[in-house]
Amino acid sequence: MKTFRKFVEEYKPVKESVGQLITITLVRKPTNLDEVKEVIKHGSGERVRAKVEEVKKLSTNEYDKLSQNFFAHTSWLDGKGGTALPENVWSVIEVQAPGRKTLYIDPEGFDYARYVGY
């Protein structure tokens, strides 16, 4: 059974970042979060301007499951993302979980995390 403190920690209001323009590094078709970290650590990846279109709040278990296999079918990603031309601004989903690094995902319309970064 969840304690009240744990409940509040997991379900506190999401930081309002929808609509914000950010600059992030995205990695194309990473297998998992370790690969994203490794690519970014070595200065690779694609540095882009992005607009946060949605914030998805996950439990730590959901986040950990997602970050272990970015190719997994994820229904809440399906049909979202993409790049707005001519501005070349990427559309991303901000993924948050308690005690975890915030991720930015552009599925480019697919149902998996095609581009992932932070």
Write the CA distances from 83 to 90, 94, 98, 116, integer angstroms.
Answer: 4, 16, 29, 14
Tokens at 25, concatenated? 């590094």
Q: By the 8 A CB rule, do 91 and 83 touch?
A: yes
Count of CB atoms situated within 10 Å of the CB of 62: 14
Pairing mode, strands 46-57 and 89-96: parallel
- pLDDT number for residue 9: 52
Query: Model pTM?
Result: 0.85
- pLDDT number for residue 83: 86
Residue 12 amino acid letter: K
Show pLDDT as tens, one digit a residue, over the chain (118 residues).
555 555 445 545 455 689 999 999 999 999 999 999 999 999 999 999 999 999 999 999 999 999 999 999 999 999 999 988 778 999 999 999 999 999 999 999 999 999 999 9
